């Protein structure tokens, strides 16, 4: 039984002057910036605000990368001077040149280290910000969104897609700076020999055309790859979460086949991607080598005619080799860019999604709740589907316990979800103490409406943390008292670590009845003035259910309770019964009155009883 000293904690709360959220406060400050909401911008410009929020490290990375490459471009010209000094008849010392090369190499190495350090810091911070932006947005989206989107798809977009964007922001600045440094290298080449410089750069226009064409053909296959990777993630997620169903129907082989089919589609997309790379990558990689061959041919001819020194040819080769690396990476940059673009657009599909359930301007906090709930000619259906509730009209008085009875699919659970405003009605209204639920703030509404579902979800943490989920500041005495009210204390005490026992994923290390009792305790600890039990004792043994009911009877006297019931024992908790048929109220009264005067009521009870056996 409940500790008498703690029992008042479970009675309806006394009026409070202002709404205070009892959940755990958010300690995380959130990302420094959000993506641009202008959908007409190209993908990287939409992410640019996030990147700008890390401008210090990003600018530092670009600056040090540029400095490092500047030092590297000085080496070939110094090398040319050294070679000219070593030609026959020239006996000038080169000690100073050797020292200069060593110093330049040291500074280039330090600058390169700092560049990579700042660049990777920026890229991983951007990745973290995008992931947090997506998760924060997912927490605000409405239930209708989750009804139509697979969780595996969301996991894929929050991981592999964001990682593709992060990799692009890691390598793209380096490659772009290296390509940009080509302008400086070209300036040095012009200062040495204008003719050779123009010959060396003759392949650049071809490189530009190839890059444009390559980008056009890479984007579609990049999108397909990311989409099919998400399909694989969705199948794996479903199989892990539904492993009990898979094994109970011995469908392991069928699920392996389904995953194999999805994997084959991914393999085809990757093969197609490799085929496209195989066609275009050689152009990007070998065109700079054509420029090197031209320099060697024409440069050698000029040296034999005495129009250019040998050192100039060596310097040109060094500059071309220096330019060859970024141009070879240019093809990779194009491929990464197209994959990042495809991934970014898949991320934007989530971030651009707007919640269906929002607070109206001027919404008020729901305070001093007495608990009267009025369903005023409600009409509702999920998504674009047909109506489930038709002109549903009912009143639950403050402090009254009402059982909602009906056949499977008659809309009983839907009524529970509408009270907590998980969905909005299509027509009519739902009022609590005279306030339309659409006119009050969501946190205050859901703090006053406690909902225990027939399929309780438990987190992979301790039982104590699961019960205190809605009240992180609850002490152990309060948690134990809530567990006793839900008849859960006895079995919890028998567990190896008692209230500190960590349950498995979704609580599957416990029985269905144990999970339901912990879910009831979790809601009772929050102490809502309106309590909805959506078949919350369906998995509990009849004898245990009777004990829970004994504990609940005194608690329900002080709060408004809506019981969605299948068992007669559960209906006994209610003062009044509402009979629902095809989304309409067809009768209401006490259990005895309906049983005596409404044949449909007895028929529904017989059907639901047989289904539960």
Selection from 331-340, 381-390, 538-547 with the highest mean pLDDT: 381-390
CA distance 81 to 78: 5
Nearest to 366 by CA among 425, 418, 432, 421: 432
Handedness of CA 243, 246, 249, 253 (dihedral sign): negative
Percent of the chain with pLDDT over 70: 81
Instruction: Specify the higher pLDDT residue, 485 or 296.
Output: 485
Does residue 428 surpass a pLDDT of 60?
yes
Kindly state the average pLDDT of the residues 237-244: 66
For 508-545, give one letter per residue: b (16+ CB within 10 A) or e: eebeebbbbbbbbbbbbbbbbbbbbbbbbbbbbeeebb
Instruction: Quick: pLDDT tens for 174-200.
Output: 777 877 777 777 777 777 778 777 777
Does residue 611 surpass a pLDDT of 80?
no
Instruction: Quick: pLDDT tens for 454-469.
Output: 777 888 888 998 898 8
Q: By the 8 A CB rule, do 340 and 173 touch?
A: no
Kindly state the average pLDDT of the residues 301-329: 70
Does residue 426 surpass a pLDDT of 90?
yes
Instruction: Specify the higher pLDDT residue, 264 or 509.
Output: 264
| Residues 6 or more apart in contact with residue 144 via CB below 8 angstroms | 356, 382, 383, 423
CA distance 6 to 601: 39
pLDDT band at 15 (very low <50, low <70, confident <90, very high): very low
How is residue 553 written in tokens? Answer: 């009877």
Instruction: Specify the higher pLDDT residue, 458 or 252.
Output: 458
Please name each of the domains of the chain with its CATH number: 43-351 (1.20.1560.10), 373-612 (3.40.50.300)
Kindly state the average pLDDT of the residues 592-600: 89
Does residue 481 surpass a pLDDT of 80?
yes
Residue 419: per-residue pLDDT: 93
CA dihedral (253, 254, 259, 265) in degrees, to 10, reads 120
CA distance 482 to 487: 9
Residue 325: per-residue pLDDT: 63
How is residue 503 written in tokens? Answer: 């349950």
Kindly state the average pLDDT of the residues 420-443: 92
pLDDT band at 230 (very low <50, low <70, confident <90, very high): confident
Kindly state the average pLDDT of the residues 128-152: 84
Residue 609: per-residue pLDDT: 58
Instruction: Quick: pLDDT tens for 73-96.
Output: 777 777 766 666 656 555 566 667
316-330, 393-407, 469-483: which range is least confident on average? 316-330
- Over the chain, what is the mean pLDDT? 80
Place of tokens 């369906």: 538
| Residues 6 or more apart in contact with residue 562 via CB below 8 angstroms | 373, 396, 402, 404, 415, 416, 419, 530, 531, 532, 533
Strands 373-380 and 427-432 turn out to be antiparallel
Residue 331: per-residue pLDDT: 64
Kindly state the average pLDDT of the residues 117-144: 87
Q: Calculate the alpha carbon distances from 2 to 5, 139, 224, 479, 573 in Å.
A: 8, 35, 58, 11, 18
Does residue 492 surpass a pLDDT of 70?
yes
Does residue 120 surpass a pLDDT of 80?
yes
pTM of the full structure: 0.71
Helices marked H in 201-309 — which ranges?
A: 204-241, 243-248, 252-304
Residue 9: per-residue pLDDT: 45
Percent of the chain with pLDDT over 90: 11
């Amino acid at each position: 039984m409940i500790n008498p000293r703690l029992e008042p904690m479970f009675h309806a709360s006394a009026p409070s002057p202002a709404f205070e959220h009892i959940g755990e406060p958010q300690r995380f400050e959130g990302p420094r910036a959000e993506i641009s909401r202008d959908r007409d911008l190209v993908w990287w410009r939409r992410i640019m605000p996030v990147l700008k929020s890390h401008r210090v490290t990003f600018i530092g990375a670009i600056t040090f990368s540029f400095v490092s490459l500047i030092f590297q471009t000085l080496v070939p010209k110094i090398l040319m001077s050294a070679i000219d000094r070593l030609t026959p008849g020239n006996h000038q010392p080169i000690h100073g040149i050797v020292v200069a090369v060593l110093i330049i190499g040291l500074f280039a190495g330090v600058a390169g280290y700092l560049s990579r350090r700042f660049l990777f810091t920026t890229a991983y911070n951007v990745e973290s910000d995008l992931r947090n932006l997506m998760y924060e947005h997912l927490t605000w989206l409405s239930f209708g969104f989750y009804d139509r989107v697979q969780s595996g798809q969301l996991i894929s977009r929050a991981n592999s897609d964001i990682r593709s964007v992060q990799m692009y922001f890691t390598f793209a600045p380096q490659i772009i700076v290296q390509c940009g440094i080509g302008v400086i290298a070209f300036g040095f080449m012009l200062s040495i020999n204008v003719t050779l410089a123009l010959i060396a750069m003759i392949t650049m226009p071809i490189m530009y055309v190839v890059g444009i064409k390559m980008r056009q053909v890479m984007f579609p296959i990049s999108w397909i790859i990311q989409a099919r990777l998400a399909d694989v993630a969705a199948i794996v997620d479903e199989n892990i979460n539904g492993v009990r169903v898979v094994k109970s129907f011995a469908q392991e082989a069928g699920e392996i086949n389904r995953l194999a089919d999805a994997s084959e589609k991914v393999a085809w997309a990757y093969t197609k991607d490799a085929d496209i790379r195989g066609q275009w990558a050689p152009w990007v990689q070998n065109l700079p080598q054509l420029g090197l061959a031209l320099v060697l041919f024409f440069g050698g001819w000029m040296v034999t005619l005495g129009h250019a020194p040998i050192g100039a040819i060596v310097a040109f080769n060094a500059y071309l080799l220096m330019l060859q690396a970024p141009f070879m990476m240019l093809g990779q940059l194009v491929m990464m860019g197209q994959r990042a673009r495809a991934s970014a657009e898949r991320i934007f599909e989530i971030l651009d999604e707007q919640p269906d359930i929002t607070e109206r301007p001027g919404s008020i906090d729901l305070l001093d709740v007495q608990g009267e709930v009025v369903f005023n000619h409600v009409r509702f259906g999920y998504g674009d589907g047909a109506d489930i509730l038709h002109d549903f009209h009912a009143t639950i008085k403050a402090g009254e316990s009402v059982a909602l009875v009906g056949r499977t699919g008659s809309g009983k659970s839907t009524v529970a979800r509408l009270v907590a405003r998980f969905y909005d009605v299509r027509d009519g209204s739902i009022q609590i103490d005279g306030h339309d639920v659409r006119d009050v703030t969501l946190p205050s509404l859901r703090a006053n409406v406690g909902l225990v579902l027939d399929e309780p979800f438990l987190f992979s943490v301790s039982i104590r943390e699961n019960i205190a989920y809605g009240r992180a500041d609850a002490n152990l005495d309060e948690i134990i008292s809530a567990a006793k009210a839900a008849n859960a204390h006895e079995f919890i005490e028998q567990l190896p670590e008692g209230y500190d026992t960590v349950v498995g994923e979704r609580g599957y290390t416990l029985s269905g009845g144990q999970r339901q009792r912990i879910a009831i305790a979790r809601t009772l600890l929050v102490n809502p003035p309106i309590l909805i039990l959506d078949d919350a004792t369906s998995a509990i043994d009849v004898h245990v259910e009777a004990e829970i009911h004994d504990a609940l009877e005194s608690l329900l006297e002080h709060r408004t309770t809506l019981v969605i019931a299948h068992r007669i024992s559960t209906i006994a908790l209610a003062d009044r019964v509402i009979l629902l048929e095809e989304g309409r109220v067809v009768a209401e009264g006490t259990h005895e009155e309906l049983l005596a005067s409404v044949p449909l009521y007895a028929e529904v009870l017989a059907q639901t009883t047989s289904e539960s056996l």
